[in-house]
Amino acid sequence: MTPRRCPRCNQSYPAPARYCVKDGSLLVEEAGQPAGARAAAAGAERRSPRERYPDLPDGGADTIPRTPAAPPAPDPLKTLSGQVLDRRYRVASRLGEGGMSYVYRAEEIESGRIVALKILLPRLSRDPASVERLRREATIAMRLDHPNVCPILRLGETPERLIYLVMPFLEGEPLSEHEARRGPFSAAEGVPLLIQMCHGLQHAHQLQIIHRDLKPENIMLVPLPAEKPGGPQEFRAVVMDFGLAKERRAGSELAKLTATGIVLGTPEFMSPEQIRGKPLDGRSDVYALGVLAFELFTGHLPFPGKSAQETMIARLRGQPLKLRELKPDFPPKVEAVIGRALAMDPGERYGSMTELAIAFEAAHSPGLLGRIFKR
């Protein structure tokens, strides 16, 4: 069967997959048509004009009725800039989009505060599961209160049934974009950021919230004021997007959203137990942060593969690459910390994000943690 790919991220999938697990896009076949459309088109081409148009008058194909293609309907979410949403927010520029939503910068009219609006796609507003997932994200993230996590301020719905989340606007860029522009980080640059992520995630874990979808796209780097003119730029790392987060003490209404054995998340960063659809605790996020750290310092994933499926299988069967084989000058003690975070057995990993943060501090620079959080 013809392989299929995501038109947005270009990830390849074997048939019969229909949707991209990273961003939810409808997969296309090699010819660029939606999955399954090619066979229908080929079948139509094999039929004669008379078979396709049984009422065709004599005169041949020249008399086949030709209906001009209707112009595509404008996407209402792409034309929000300059409008007022829900009589509360003056919408400015679009910041990004994903498989479920668009994100806009906006001004809260009453207070003048700049915020970010995450607006559910209209077609998903009619899907109870998608709406429930967004409401769940809001319910979970409204409880978060830490400098290294992004909370949700409110959940709203317009008279036109546009459902949206309001978040603080963070002046910065995703870690993924920062990496793509400047390349892998040194240990001195990356370890402080990882420690901050650990503390933000520990805050979530103490509230019984597991993120389940850690990846560079979900980490925002917010520039900090320089301590010395001309000194190196430092950042505050903020964990974003708790859309796949789940409370460990989930009630029956949450359990219905994630059927037993259904795998949610980004394949390249999943823990082995998440791939298997097993019950998760904070050590699954420890593993994902280990994958993120390996990629942060090397530009490569610790389990290579030609597809997301291959990397998932490698995590279940093999050992991760040695970081110092890719980067020989990397500090061996920091490599050892990442290696333990990537243990296949959760019992062999660090038991909490606090333990992981302390290990990073001890391996890299004693006293570093105190300097970071003294701000």
Q: Token pair 């859309």 is at which residue?
A: 243
H helix runs in 327-374, sequence order: 332-341, 353-364, 368-372
CA dist., res. 48 & res. 269, Å (int): 50
Cα Rg, the chain, nearest whole Å: 24
CA dist., res. 145 & res. 141, Å (int): 9
| 153 C-beta neighbours (distance < 10 Å), count | 16
DSSP letter, residue 77? G
Q: Tell me the catalytic residues.
A: 213
Under 8 Å between Cβ of 308 and 267: yes
H helix runs in 258-317, sequence order: 272-275, 282-298, 308-317
What beta strand segments (E) does the chain contain? 4-5, 12-13, 28-29, 84-85, 89-97, 101-108, 114-120, 154-157, 163-168, 173-174, 209-210, 219-223, 235-239, 246-247
Q: Count Cα atoms within 13 angstroms, Cβ side, for 49.
A: 11
28-29, strands of its sheet edge to edge: 12-13, 4-5, 28-29
φ/ψ of 154, rounded to 5, equals -165, 160
3-state secondary structure of 19: strand
16 cis-preceded (ω within 30 degrees of 0): yes
Under 8 Å between Cβ of 274 and 282: no
